[in-house]
Amino acid sequence: MVDLAPYRAVLASRIRAQRSHRASFRLDLGSSVLVGFVELAEIAVLFLTVDRLGGLDLAAIVLVFGIADMSFSLADMVFGHCDNLPTYLKAGTLDVFYLRPQPLLAQLVTSDISLRRLARAAVGLAALVAGLVVNDVAWSLANAVLLVLAVVSGVVTFSAMFVWAGGMQFFLVDGYEATNAFVYGGRYAATQPASVWGRPLVVVFGFFFPMAFTAYLPTLTLLGLPGSDWLPGWLGWFAPVAAVWAWVLALASWRTGVRHYQGGGG
Amino acid sequence: MRPGAEDLVTEAPRGISRRVRPALRTYARLLLAGFRRGSRYRLAAFGGLVANATFGLLKVAVLFAVVEAAGGEVSGYDLGAMSAYIWISQGLLGSVNLMGRSDIAERIRTGDVTTDFLRPLDVQAAAVVEDVGKSLFALIPRGIPTVTIGLLLVGMDGPDGPFGLLLGAVSLLLGISVSCCTVYLVAVAGFWMVETRGLQILYMVVSGFLAGLFVPISLFPGWLYGVAVATPFPSMLQFPVDVLSGRADHGTSVLLIGVQAAWLAAVAALGQGLTRAGRRKLEVQGG
């Protein structure tokens, strides 16, 4: 049995720390909620001029957004500070993690937890519920299973993206923004109707980084929509396969990165 | 009034040039230092370019679909204008500070700013000028290549003749300056708050949206458009993009530049006032 007590102690201290600067923490939470609204508005604004975009109407897009945003926020809460890796690498403080008898990735994941991500996830959940209400979903056991599968696979897939990016940081260091293109670009892609993408985008965000599988395809399946040639509606059931593939990528990248690391010279 | 400022007034005009010129030279050096500092992070610039290009392609897909679904034009944007909007705004992301982060914020938080106050320089002007220098450098590895990628892969509208390009350059410089001065305002809030992270994130969310980073502000519903133009944010990105892409004709461009200049004066004056007030309030933690 793995002893989880050290992880628990660290996380509890992190949570207390975040709540100590109250004014900033409240502003932080408020801002996180606002981020969610702004990102939804960003897409909703487009529907002022058009009724349908890539075969989806506003109601369907709200559902896509809800699933994608909630999954991403939850993944971000747990794995998001893999983003701090370049800072540790540059300061040489990553070596400290190597001194402790715990796996590196497990330490990184539990080194911090961002409470404000919960506020973010709440916005996603609200959009998800609103999406389920305004859409004409034919409720059945199969569809309920599909929805749960989609959210769980989405969280797992987005988590894999953070770990993939983490592995790349060992090579990129200062060039960390390049991975943002796929992690945060991926989040943005996941909230779009993927049917508007050209072939190269389908390859990159449809399959290689399986962003279309996190929300768009499950929504098609749930609403019984046909989809496009390369991304047909029934593919929504394959979200768990996409999540497994994402972790294959993530672990390959992470192992390569960790093996490449030569230490901070300390 | 600071010691010395009185002589500066009485000795005018010869005295002004004698005192102001060396100061200007110092700021010019700071501008250059910021420019050169930017040039040290080549890999960072490359990373930024990859991100800008990827987001650009995703935006092309979705916004082109909007233009096509709306029958070839939406709020005056056809495909060429939309493409110009997407690629120029992505290209300016490395230069226009919509993140709200700055070095001076960290210096205020840690108390290092006390050293800055001891220097014979204006704290606000020095911080802003160095940031502007860094931003101008970012045009070389990020701005120009991003626009070139867009031009080659997608094609787009361009500035309205050489005079339009000149207006675009002025508008761009003003946009960068407005953003640096506004981010400075976020930083000086640190004189009153221990931690400005929340404020910085609030800035990041609001500025990007109202500056027209996600969708052009003319696509906003009327009330939201009204909110946007009542803030300095469109002056940072949307206006320079409109002038550079030739969407605004020469007359409108001059008007937009006037609005930008007014915002620059307003945020710079506010920053100056807050710096002076903050200097009296300054409390160094643990010092």
Least Cα separation, residue B258 to chain A (angstroms):
28
Rounded Cα gap, residues B259 and B249, in angstroms: 15
By the 10 Å C-beta count (0-12 exposed, 13-18 middle, 19+ buried), A219 is classed as buried
ipTM of the complex: 0.87
**Which residues lie below 8 Å from residue A191, measured CB to CB, with a gap of 6+?**
A39, A43, A61, A64, A65, A68, A69, A215
Lowest mean pLDDT among A94-98, A124-128, B113-117: A94-98
Indicate the pLDDT class of residue A186, thresholds 50, 70 and 90.
Answer: very high
Rounded Cα gap, residues B257 and B174, in angstroms: 8
Is A216 within the bounds of a domain?
Answer: yes
Owner of token pair 């704290």: B123
Handedness of CA B188, B192, B194, B198 (dihedral sign): negative
B212, B237 in Cβ contact below 8 A? yes
Q: Which of A196, A180, A183 is nearest to A157 (CA)?
A: A183
A122, A33 in Cβ contact below 8 A? yes
**Which residues lie below 8 Å from residue A258, measured CB to CB, with a gap of 6+?**
A104, A167, A170
Rounded Cα gap, residues A48 and A139, in angstroms: 30
**Which residues lie below 8 Å from residue B62, measured CB to CB, with a gap of 6+?**
A46, A53, A54, A192, A193, A196
pLDDT at B87: 95
Rounded Cα gap, residues A144 and B6, in angstroms: 77
Is A110 within the bounds of a domain?
Answer: yes
Q: Is B282 helix (H, G, I), strand (E, B) or coil?
A: coil
Is A12 within the bounds of a domain?
Answer: no
Rounded Cα gap, residues A37 and A35, in angstroms: 5
Rounded alpha-carbon distances, angstroms, from residue B180 to B52, B89, B116: 20, 17, 18
Q: Using omega within 30 degrees of 0 as the cis cutoff, is the peptide bond preceding B141 cis? A: no
Contact across the interface for A27 and B199, Cβ inside 8 Å: yes
pLDDT tens digit sequence for A228-241:
888 998 999 999 99
Indicate the pLDDT class of residue A22, thresholds 50, 70 and 90.
Answer: confident
Rounded Cα gap, residues A160 and A179, in angstroms: 13
Q: Can you tell me the mean pLDDT for A157-176? A: 89
Tell me how many domains chain B contains: 1
B245, B158 in Cβ contact below 8 A? yes
Q: Can you tell me the mean pLDDT for A40-52? A: 88
pLDDT at B5: 44
Lowest mean pLDDT among A83-97, A102-116, A146-160, B66-80: A102-116
Rounded Cα gap, residues A61 and B86, in angstroms: 22
Contact across the interface for A185 and B54, Cβ inside 8 Å: yes
pLDDT at B201: 84
pLDDT at B196: 81
Least Cα separation, residue A51 to chain B (angstroms):
8
Residues above pLDDT 90, as percent of chain A: 44
Least Cα separation, residue B200 to chain A (angstroms):
9
- Of B43, B57, B215, which has the smallest distance from its Cβ to A172's Cβ? B43
Is B51 within the bounds of a domain?
Answer: yes
Tens-digit pLDDT string for chain B (287 aa): 344 444 444 444 455 566 667 778 888 888 888 888 777 777 888 888 899 999 999 999 999 999 999 888 998 899 999 999 999 999 999 899 998 888 888 888 888 888 888 888 888 999 999 999 989 998 998 899 999 999 998 888 888 889 999 999 999 999 999 999 999 999 999 888 877 877 888 898 899 999 999 999 999 999 999 999 999 999 999 999 999 999 999 999 999 999 999 999 999 999 999 999 988 877 665 54
User: Which amino acid makes up residue B86?
Assistant: I
A230-244 burial string, b = 16+ CB within 10 Å, else e? ebebebbbbbeebbe
Provide φ and ψ at B74, rounded to 5°: -140, 125
Tell me how many domains chain A contains: 1
Chain A hits for B41, CB-CB cut-off 8 Å, are: 174
Question: Mutating which of A25, A47, A48 best tests the B interface, going by the most B Cβ atoms within 10 A?
Answer: A48
The residues that bridge with A227 in the sheet, in sequence order, are: A232
Is B10 within the bounds of a domain?
Answer: no
A221, A237 in Cβ contact below 8 A? yes
pLDDT at B3: 45
Q: Which of A234, A199, A229 is nearest to A217 (CA)?
A: A234
Rounded Cα gap, residues B81 and A240, in angstroms: 40
Give me the DSSP letters along B51-71: HHHHHHHHHHHHHHHHHHHTT
pLDDT at B4: 43
Enter the DSSP assignment of B98: -
**Structural domain containing residue B213:** 27-281
B86, B58 in Cβ contact below 8 A? no
Question: Mutating which of B46, B89, B201, B225 best tests the A interface, going by the most A Cβ atoms within 10 A?
Answer: B201
Structure tokens at B236: 């940072």
By the 10 Å C-beta count (0-12 exposed, 13-18 middle, 19+ buried), B266 is classed as middle
Is B1 within the bounds of a domain?
Answer: no
pLDDT at A252: 94
**Structural domain containing residue A103:** 21-260
Enter the DSSP assignment of A235: G
pLDDT at B112: 85
Rounded Cα gap, residues B111 and B240, in angstroms: 36
Q: Which of B86, B59, B245 is nearest to B157 (CA)?
A: B245
Least Cα separation, residue A132 to chain B (angstroms):
23
Residues above pLDDT 70, as percent of chain A: 97
B198, A34 in Cβ contact below 8 A? no
Q: Which of A226, A223, A185, A234 is nearest to A62 (CA)?
A: A223
Handedness of CA B42, B44, B50, B55 (dihedral sign): negative
Q: Can you tell me the mean pLDDT for A95-118? A: 76
Contact across the interface for B47 and A174, Cβ inside 8 Å: yes
User: Which amino acid makes up residue A93?
Assistant: T
Give me the DSSP letters along B23-47: HHHHHHHHHHHHHHHHHT-HHHHHH
